[in-house]
Structure 1
Amino acid sequence: MAATDYLACDRLLAEVRACRLCAAHLPQEPRPLLQLGRGARLLIAGQAPGRRAHDSGVPFDDASGERLRLWLGVDKAVFYDPQHIAILPMGLCYPGSGKSGDLPPRPECAPQWRNALLAQLPQLQLTLVLGQYALDWHLPQYDTVTAAAQAWQQTLPLGVLALPHPSPRNNLWLRRNPWFETEVLPALQARIAALLR
């Protein structure tokens, strides 16, 4: 890859990290959290950073991240290497909390930045879609995360896989859908091991 490609990526990342587009709507100062390297083959398309991630400045720095790394079969060193894994939520800043968890990603964020950031991933081979907002962007033909996850044998060969959010709040979903852990996770781990070789 040309050095100019890397410079353009660095400039874009600096611009994104300085973004204040929705500052007036956030509970705290904007702190866009993402991880992106031009060599990344795997993209994690999530919702928005949680409060712990906002506070630490590290994406998935919580119980959800621990479960997600377990699902992927990778350790922290691999997970946080931007040349292996890109992390690009639909909303880049912590949106605040509501009655039943965090608020939705801010609607201004994805239209402003997502296409330009995705264009910086020329090696991308697999996108993992976490949650409804990411599903609406990446797999809009499916109404629910469950329906998209059940279609894993159709979507995985196309380089996209829907996962339930790895939050402990989804323990009930996991109990009701045992096929996810017995069928989907082994296939996902094999695919990721091949991607990261």
Structure 2
Amino acid sequence: MLSDEIQAWKNNFFIPTRLECDASPEWFSNYTCNIKPVSRTRKIIIARAEIRKPINKIFVKIQVFKRFSGWQPYLINHLFEACAFLGGKKTSNILYNNFYKIIKPLFDKYTNINHECPYNGTVELYEVDYNKIDIPTAKGTIFPSGYYKAVGKIYEANNSYIGSAVFQGIVKETQT
């Protein structure tokens, strides 16, 4: 049963290697996103944008890829309404609800996008120290060790393109 697997999760860690962002000038100005080295062994993730007009309803399409012989689709290819997601609305989709359990605490701690819509003003992903983020995994499922790429495309309710982000990294097992 999936809930038993969740209880058996151990913490792996994620090492980001690449971050690319794109933002529609119709919706955003002064946007930036990058992985910034702080020292030889420490990097932080920073993203910031100023919203030009209020965003009332956001749809996000998330696709995850794992590198085998090239990038192959892996487990997640999902379109969801981000305002409801960040507002904590539950669904009958087990994968969605478990993804929420992983992502929501990160949004609460590291962003100002941790509430329901509308969004306006400046949105930020604060200095996320990836050394302090554990990724819950279950051996042989969800995110085993390997190279991953997550692609997020963001749209407003009327299908207007808002922006996108491509995030690559490595999941490694915690040494016990």
Same fold (TM over 0.5): no
Whose relative contact order is higher, 1 or 2, with alpha carbons under 8 Å and at least 6 apart?
A: 2
Larger proportion of strand:
2
TM-score (norm 1): 0.27
Q: Point out the structure with the larger helix share.
A: 1
TM-score, normalised to structure 2, is 0.29
